Structure 1
Amino acid sequence: MLEQLTGHEDPHPIYERLRAHGPLTRDNGMWLTTSHPLANKILRDRRFGVRYTDGTYPGNAGLLPESFLETDPPDHTRLRRIATPAFSPKKIDEYRTRVEKVADSLLDKDEFDLITDFAAPLPISVISDLLGIPDADTAEFADYGALVAASFDTGVTAEMANANDKVLALFDRLIAQRRKTPGDDVISSLVAAEAEQKLTAQEMLGTLVLLLVAGFETTVNLIGNGIRALLDHPSQWTLFKANQELAPAVVEETLRWAPPVQLTSRIAHEEVDGIGRNEMVTLLLAAANRDPEVYPEAHRFDVLRVHKPEHLAFSSGIHYCLGATLARMEGAVAFRALARRMPELRQTGPIEFRDSVVIRGMRSFPVSRS
């Protein structure tokens, strides 16, 4: 049934048909869960990992360097610890002014595409600052981020392979520069960690590519999905415009109601409750986020909803999204900027959806300020 999800504007009718089979079911020989409690339990259970017990990773095309997202402990623990300081509360506060300035600068127009002209440039600008990408390289960096995102939908293309070579060359050049002249950025901190033999050169590249891709994907789709939800629910849009302090609540309800990442997988490292060793379980995060056993009126978009327990848009357990705090801040700033600057915002043309099972978002969302 999952193969029917590609390109769907609304995948939830399919999720609900799967939910009817119980919290854990098989579809074409694959274990699936739509249950929030079960998905959360599996994500936190150390008997599950992201690799098979022989250390191989499923579905790795080999083009992008592997990152800690594709590793189990102890490598995951070691590499994540090195990247964590870039996302401390102090650092997020330092980024906020930059995000507010960029968001305002992107809204000096009457008609535009919400995705390509606002939701995408905003996180790329922030990630470029975070990594210390020079202004002269930011445009190429942004193009690469967009191509990597597209590869989740279409697979690896020749254009993607060429862009991958270019961005890895860019990272190699910047790493060499930081070895000579360290700065106050993530590349410099990773170079220092490499010098202390805390990670390898390949692991450093994998971490940098992950921060680019994850930071871009989550935020662009959070912003797009949130604004679409607000415009499709006029009473919620009116409520938010009158109470812009609700921006963090809009972020949380968007993440629950239309999470950018729809699903993830875990592999049992031993037999667990009938799931065999080295069998994979697909966790339908978007379905879990609308589990009626957890969230009353689960299919209703409600920015005043009390989120207990927390949604699974950022996963759970040891692989909980490292950049969650940054994405939340960027989303809240973006929603407030649009409500303040464009209270009469409206859709002006057809939306083009991403052709993906894993990622839920839009390629194009034409809007006007009035």
Structure 2
Amino acid sequence: MITLSDARLSTRIAVERTGAWLLRATGDEFARLDSAANRADPYPAYARLRERETLYRSKLGFWVATTFEHCNLVLRDRRFGVQQNDGAMPRFFDTMALARGPEVVLSFLELDPPEHTRLRALARPAFGPAKLDGYRPLIESIAHDLLDRAAKKGGFDLMADFAGPLPIRVISELLGIPDVNAERFLAYGRILAKALDGISSMRLVRELRTATTEMYTMFRALMAAKREHPEADVLTQLTEAHDAGKLTVPELLATCELLLVAGFETTVNLIGNSTLALLSHPEQWALLCEDPGLARAAAEETLRYDPPVQSTARVAHEDVELAGTRIRANELVFTMIGATGRDPAVFADPEVFDITRTPEREHLAFSSGIHYCLGAPLARLEAEIALRALAERMPELAVDGTPRRRPSAGIRGLLRFPVRIPHGKPLSVP
């Protein structure tokens, strides 16, 4: 049954798609980032924007910051946040909220203090240094198991057979999702990831709502199980926090969903983007194969050179002067993370992919300020282990066809990445 609200949502989706097309056709630089050519390679467009106007006013009604200096300032300055002063989401993002339905509450990623501070603190212990040290053997075991399976094929899809399953299995273990639920959990993660590329149809809305309902039902059942049999996992920790009155059930569900999406999305795309960058620069791949200890540096260089998250937005809580321009309260500023890593004012030879680089500044791929990515240490660890395993076991790895990119300007990653091992079996590492 289609409700009145769904009919309005369908109309909004159609209007937004048509409006975006018209703006691309009439030359709005931000809208044109979503063209096929710029999705394939957005960096020349970022450079043109940065050279023309460091702070650009889009016809869509918001500001676009392209330099490292301005983006870092907006992300760190407490005069900016993720909500409007009335607590609402910015108009540009409320299509997603409408698609999810009224029963879904905001996660701490979408909240400002004090709610953000309270909820983030409850999830933080799972990503502390002591916990991360214990995750390494688990991640290494999963990575080698996946490569064992992929090696039997000779040619395989790096995204479907390695980069995708690795982080979903890791986050399942961290949350405490039993193996019997793992396939369902992966399916939910894929639908949520598809929604991040944009709400493009009512079919996707229906898929999203069904996945959310089923996922929340699963989490509620697992909460009950964790009460009976508590374990050393995040879901047990959050269930105990709920029972102590520290968060509501909707907040707990939203936190688990955020950890799923964040734990899956950033890492899968970091592994995919890193591997593509390395294989596209054979001399860099050779360096890594000669010294697999460069795996962490290779991941860091990818985060600068071709980050998974290309942009994030903030709302001015008051009038703010930026780049000689007054940003009014409740106006939206998009910070183009992808552009900042290639800002020549900060990074020497920014267009060069060099895994031996000593960077002048830390990149902004994990954001900055109070919304700095909570899972950044885990994503770095997973990418390091994944790249090291590939270099050690499959030094002959090669691209086997044209990789297929995601249809998104905001999330940069691959849907399909065919690779092959030309000469015999890969090295066996126990």
Question: Normalising TM by the smaller chain, what interval?
Answer: over 0.9
1:23 Cα deviation after fit: 2.2
Give the counterpart letter for 2:111 in structure 1.
T
1:119 equivalent in structure 2: 163
SS of aligned partner of 1:107: helix
Q: Kindly indicate whether the alpha-carbon contact (under 8 Å) linking 1:35 and 1:287 is maintained by their aligned counterparts in 2.
A: yes
2:221 equivalent in structure 1: 173
1:143 Cα deviation after fit: 1.1
Give the counterpart letter for 2:281 in structure 1.
H
1:43 equivalent in structure 2: 75
Q: Kindly indicate whether the alpha-carbon contact (under 8 Å) linking 1:23 and 1:33 is maintained by their aligned counterparts in 2.
A: yes
Q: Matches of 1:175 and 1:169 in 2, distance apart?
A: 10
> Structure 2 residue aligned with 1:145, among 177, 184, 189?
189
1:78 equivalent in structure 2: 118
Q: Matches of 2:228 and 2:377 in 1, distance apart?
A: 31
How far does the alpha carbon of each residue in 1:318-361 deviate from its partner, in whole angstroms, 9 at most, with x for none? Answer: 00000000000000000000001100000111111000011000
Percent sequence identity over matched residues?
50
1:346 counterpart = 2:383: no
Moved over 4 A (4+): none
Q: Kindly indicate whether the alpha-carbon contact (under 8 Å) linking 1:82 and 1:193 is maintained by their aligned counterparts in 2.
A: yes
Give the counterpart letter for 1:219 in structure 2.
T
1:2 equivalent in structure 2: 30
How far does the alpha carbon of each residue in 1:103-126 deviate from its partner, in whole angstroms, 9 at most, with x for none? Answer: 111112221100011000000000
Q: Matches of 1:94 and 1:170 in 2, distance apart?
A: 26
1:5 Cα deviation after fit: 2.2
SS of aligned partner of 1:281: strand
Larger radius of gyration: 2
Unpaired segments of 5 or more residues in structure 1?
Answer: none
1:158 Cα deviation after fit: 2.1
> Structure 2 residue aligned with 1:25, among 56, 64, 79?
56
> Structure 1 residue aligned with 2:271, among 205, 223, 229?
223
SS of aligned partner of 1:322: coil
1:301 equivalent in structure 2: 353
Q: Kindly indicate whether the alpha-carbon contact (under 8 Å) linking 1:114 and 1:224 is maintained by their aligned counterparts in 2.
A: yes
2:8 equivalent in structure 1: none
> Structure 1 residue aligned with 2:144, among 104, 108, 117?
104
Q: Kindly indicate whether the alpha-carbon contact (under 8 Å) linking 1:47 and 1:270 is maintained by their aligned counterparts in 2.
A: yes
Q: Matches of 1:291 and 1:152 in 2, distance apart?
A: 26
1:14 equivalent in structure 2: 45
1:21 Cα deviation after fit: 2.3
Q: Matches of 1:96 and 1:302 in 2, distance apart?
A: 26
- Kindly tell me the number of residue pairs found equivalent between the two proteins: 370
Q: Kindly indicate whether the alpha-carbon contact (under 8 Å) linking 1:67 and 1:203 is maintained by their aligned counterparts in 2.
A: yes
Q: Matches of 1:3 and 1:161 in 2, distance apart?
A: 28
SS of aligned partner of 1:157: helix
> Structure 2 residue aligned with 1:202, among 226, 232, 250?
250
Greater relative CO (CA pairs within 8 A, separation 6+): 1
Q: Matches of 1:223 and 1:124 in 2, distance apart?
A: 13
Greater Cα offset, 61-70 or 344-353: 61-70
Give the counterpart letter for 1:101 in structure 2.
S
Q: Matches of 2:369 and 2:288 in 1, distance apart?
A: 32
1:25 Cα deviation after fit: 2.0
TM-score relative to the length of structure 2: 0.84
Unpaired segments of 5 or more residues in structure 2?
Answer: 1-28, 423-430
Greater Cα offset, 54-63 or 360-369: 54-63
Give the counterpart letter for 2:145 in structure 1.
S
Q: Matches of 1:292 and 1:100 in 2, distance apart?
A: 37
Cα RMSD for the two superposed structures: 1.1
1:363 Cα deviation after fit: 0.1
> Structure 2 residue aligned with 1:95, among 132, 135, 148?
135
1:193 Cα deviation after fit: 1.0
Q: Kindly indicate whether the alpha-carbon contact (under 8 Å) linking 1:65 and 1:209 is maintained by their aligned counterparts in 2.
A: no
> Structure 1 residue aligned with 2:208, among 143, 146, 160?
160
Greater Cα offset, 117-126 or 63-72: 63-72
1:199 Cα deviation after fit: 1.1
1:184 equivalent in structure 2: 232
1:42 Cα deviation after fit: 1.1
Q: Matches of 1:307 and 1:65 in 2, distance apart?
A: 39
SS of aligned partner of 1:221: helix
Q: Matches of 1:285 and 1:26 in 2, distance apart?
A: 17
SS of aligned partner of 2:166: helix
How far does the alpha carbon of each residue in 1:141-187 deviate from its partner, in whole angstroms, 9 at most, with x for none? Answer: 01111111111124243223222211111111101212232211101
Q: Kindly indicate whether the alpha-carbon contact (under 8 Å) linking 1:285 and 1:313 is maintained by their aligned counterparts in 2.
A: yes
> Structure 2 residue aligned with 1:52, among 84, 91, 108?
84
SS of aligned partner of 1:227: helix
Q: Matches of 1:122 and 1:44 in 2, distance apart?
A: 32
Give the counterpart letter for 2:158 in structure 1.
L
Q: Matches of 1:74 and 1:227 in 2, distance apart?
A: 39
1:331 counterpart = 2:383: yes
